[in-house]
Structure 1
Amino acid sequence: MLSLVAPPAFGRAAPPAEGGAAGLVLRAVLAGGPLTRTAVGRAIGLSPAAVSRHTADLIALGLLRELPPQGPPRSGRPQLPLDIDTRGHLAMGVHIGVPWLTFALLDLRGRVVAHERLPRQGDASDVLRVVRAHLPGFVARRSAGRPLLGLGVVTGGWVDSERGTVVEHGPLGWQDVPVRDVLAGATRLPVHLDSHARALAQAELLFGAGHGATELVHLFVGNVVDAAIATSGGVLRGRRSRAGDIGHLPVPGSTEPCPCGRTGCLQASVSERTLARRAHREGLLPAPDFDRLLALAGAGEPAALRLFEERLRLVAPAAELLLNMLNPEVLVVTEAGLAVAPGLAEHLHRRLAEHARPEAARLVTAGSFGVDVLAVAACAGVLDSAYRRPMELRTAPVAAWSGARVAAASTAH
């Protein structure tokens, strides 16, 4: 049997060291590349010798590559542009949702190389057993033998990243599940466990709407509703990684019962399950099925769009509260309707403009990753770690575990 009771934490782990100058070089090329070494030095204030030393290390690791000279030939040694090398390393991830498990591989620019999904069934032990069994075959089928940087595991609710534990996930019924310990033994790779709100905040800072920003708030609206706060370019976690728990904010006028015992909590009022039940009650669906409702909204069905507009109306006060409290450079709202029907963003902005300061409402944008959002979330922690601490990377060839260990993983208990 898998042990699914997490041990108590006695004190806090020391924060990981940042990547120093090598990380600065890598992030500069991500932000502005292709860049010459001279341009990298100007961007981050390093000497030519230091830039050359760090770029040599990053090229050797397969994180950067040199491109052919650009423009007409010049006398002297040519300046070769540097770019992120997306031909090699992959980040692997799993998003554990209420209806689905999403398996993903992303390249170093956060682009989805492959993804698959399976129905999520059973308790925590069942789910982690399925993840362990499916990962080797997924990687063998879809990675083309490229080396893996690590495994990201992302879900909603209260996720304690330091302990590697899902402390509480109400819709799944999970409590104190030591996800990192269970999956690290199956892959022999670093496992980065986080909440999907924080993971997507990291992804938005690296590759999306937060690109170039240091102060960002991310609001995730799904079956779980939570927020993530980025300040000085890093994501705030709070004590035991509980920062951003907004699911029980009161929604005026809502009578939706919440498992906490109250009525009108934000998460209960706007969750995907709640929306699907409303669509069924109104005769829009033969049974509560959020995926079918989302497809109708994407096809422009007016009744489906009205339900998503109502959902955003209920979400808007929470977004306004976050804007007023935190005053970020950008507030990103990840919500499924916005991904399939971009016109809904205008509805959200109108709702915010009714209450928030006009300039604040302009800071709100939809999530950057569309229908790939769960795949990106799954791998974001791995990529964030690579860009912050590139010299600490531990990579493992796919063949080291994906082939011979398939049978062992599929029979693991």
Structure 2
Amino acid sequence: MTRSPIITVSRGRFSSTATQVLEQVRTAGRASRDEIAAATGLSIATVGRTAALLVERGLLRERPDLARPGATGRPGVPVEIDADHYVTIGVHVGRRIATVALGDLTGRVLASTTVRRPLGAEPDLEQLSREAATLLGSHPGRVPLAAGLVAPWREIGLVPSERETELHELTGLPVRTGDHISAVAAAEFLHRRQGRGSTGGLTLYLYARDTFGWSVAVDRGVQTDVTRAASLTHFPTGADVPCTCGRSGCLAVAVDVLPAVERARTLGAMAGSVRDMLSPDQVVLVGQAFTGDPGLLDVIVTAYEEHTALDHRVPVSFTRFGSDIQAISACTVALGPVLDDPLACVELTGVEADGACRPGA
């Protein structure tokens, strides 16, 4: 069955207790058992049992040194993601470059490598799997839990479900796929949300670099999904630049040839127009076409504000990620199977948190 192109980045109360506890700790950065219970609605006893199991399996670790003054017993002892045992493998396939990365369970990239590939060629997932094995060899003791495979699927003419199966057969890991723009949006959402809790609402992510498009994170507080990406390649800009589609002024060709300041104005105007169509609660601009020249960020924002017709102002910001966004987005997608069922992922490895083999594995 073809997997939905929507990326679930927050599962909330609709998920297992292990997922709820792990997600709450990941969002807060660190939390005590009583804080987790208050945030999730789970009982203290349930949170206590679940947290103990996640600590035993090496997914969480206790921080008694950070217990609140006067707190007694384990309910007041904070736990945090244990970033020292497990990793995910992120694979990003671009038009000319493929990126392979290792990420910890907080989503931080530990190591990455890039491989050039011929334009239009089929991705060599066997080679990329070997690159992943090499990265794992440089991080002894790390156990992979899942893999993420990200690409601009439509632009490079590949079927994600076929590549997902191939990478699973090569690695033996649960594999999750994601469209490039949606994966970037998921990474942005998760890293912005960490430590702040849920703010709710709809966030529009506009991406402009080698591909052009938008995706939306719909945060309901109890669950958050990132929609499939929509293309902006042929968004009309009014520029007098011919496009291969037979029309003139399409965004992708205009951005390639316009002078820097005019390009910044064009991107800002496009962002304002798309904002009006979707009426989000906030807008995040991602990709080096937006961020490549820091001196022109104000030009983009001014054009954005001039080309929005809606009365209420919507805050606009720029990505916090640079050239490593491919590795980060792929590792973010790889967290999907872990967050879906963290204990099952660990069981599949057959390895205890201390590195010993689990009986029967």
TM-score computed with the length of structure 2 as normaliser: 0.81
Q: 243, 246, 249: which is aligned to 1:257?
A: 243
- Secondary structure of the residue aligned to 2:239 is coil
RMSD (Å), alpha carbons: 3.1
Residue 168 (structure 2) pairs with residue 216 (structure 1) = no
Partner Cα separation in structure 1 for residue 73 and residue 129 of structure 2: 51
How far 1:93 sits from its partner (Å)? 0.8
**CA spacing shift, 1:124–1:56, aligned 2, 3 Å:** farther
- Secondary structure of the residue aligned to 2:231 is coil
For the Cα contact (< 8 Å) 1:121–1:127, is it kept in 2?
no
Partner Cα separation in structure 1 for residue 188 and residue 4 of structure 2: 27
For the Cα contact (< 8 Å) 1:345–1:365, is it kept in 2?
no
Residue 317 (structure 2) pairs with residue 365 (structure 1) = yes
Q: Which residue of the partner structure matches residue 35 of structure 1?
A: 31
Q: 76, 84, 87: which is aligned to 1:87?
A: 84
| Aligned counterparts, 1:49-64, within 5 A | 49-64=45-60
Q: 18, 23, 30: which is aligned to 1:22?
A: 18
How far 1:337 sits from its partner (Å)? 5.1
**CA spacing shift, 1:127–1:153, aligned 2, 3 Å:** same
Q: Which residue of the partner structure matches residue 164 of structure 2?
A: 180
Q: Which residue of the partner structure matches residue 207 of structure 1?
A: 191
Partner Cα separation in structure 2 for residue 27 and residue 175 of structure 1: 32
Q: For 2:90, give the aligned amino acid.
A: G
Q: Which residue of the partner structure matches residue 177 of structure 2?
A: 193
Q: Which residue of the partner structure matches residue 112 of structure 2?
A: 115
**CA spacing shift, 1:46–1:72, aligned 2, 3 Å:** closer
| Aligned counterparts, 1:165-314, within 5 A | 166=153, 168-169=154-155, 172=156, 174-176=157-159, 178-208=162-192, 212-214=198-200, 215-231=202-218, 232=220, 233-237=223-227, 241=228, 243-258=229-244, 260-270=245-255, 274=256, 307=260, 309-314=261-266
Partner Cα separation in structure 2 for residue 218 and residue 256 of structure 1: 27
Structure 2, unaligned stretches of length 5 or more?
A: 352-361
Partner Cα separation in structure 1 for residue 53 and residue 206 of structure 2: 37
How far 1:131 sits from its partner (Å)? 2.1
For the Cα contact (< 8 Å) 2:272–2:303, is it kept in 1?
no
**CA spacing shift, 1:176–1:71, aligned 2, 3 Å:** closer
For the Cα contact (< 8 Å) 1:339–1:371, is it kept in 2?
no
**CA spacing shift, 1:209–1:265, aligned 2, 3 Å:** farther
Q: For 2:328, give the aligned amino acid.
A: V
How far 1:132 sits from its partner (Å)? 3.7
Q: Which whole-Å deviations, capped at 9, do the CAs of 1:35-86 have from their partners, x for residues lacking one?
A: 1111111122221112112212322332211002436864743621111111
How far 1:248 sits from its partner (Å)? 2.2
TM-score computed with the length of structure 1 as normaliser: 0.72
Q: For 1:323, give the aligned amino acid.
A: R
For the Cα contact (< 8 Å) 1:337–1:344, is it kept in 2?
no
For the Cα contact (< 8 Å) 1:22–1:390, is it kept in 2?
yes
Partner Cα separation in structure 2 for residue 225 and residue 70 of structure 1: 45
Q: For 1:330, give the aligned amino acid.
A: Q
Partner Cα separation in structure 1 for residue 71 and residue 251 of structure 2: 65
How far 1:110 sits from its partner (Å)? 1.8
Partner Cα separation in structure 2 for residue 346 and residue 102 of structure 1: 31
Q: Which residue of the partner structure matches residue 62 of structure 2?
A: 66
For the Cα contact (< 8 Å) 2:83–2:104, is it kept in 1?
yes
- Secondary structure of the residue aligned to 2:232 is coil
Partner Cα separation in structure 1 for residue 209 and residue 3 of structure 2: 33
- Secondary structure of the residue aligned to 2:122 is helix
Structure 1, unaligned stretches of length 5 or more?
A: 1-8, 157-165, 279-305, 399-413
Partner Cα separation in structure 2 for residue 99 and residue 219 of structure 1: 22
Partner Cα separation in structure 2 for residue 360 and residue 341 of structure 1: 28
Q: For 1:137, give the aligned amino acid.
A: T
For the Cα contact (< 8 Å) 2:281–2:314, is it kept in 1?
no
Aligned-residue sequence identity (percent) comes to 27
Partner Cα separation in structure 2 for residue 87 and residue 23 of structure 1: 19
How far 1:188 sits from its partner (Å)? 0.9
Q: How many residues end up aligned between the 2 structures?
A: 337
Partner Cα separation in structure 1 for residue 16 and residue 144 of structure 2: 23
Residue 134 (structure 2) pairs with residue 137 (structure 1) = yes
- Secondary structure of the residue aligned to 2:42 is coil
Q: For 1:103, give the aligned amino acid.
A: V
- Secondary structure of the residue aligned to 1:208 is helix
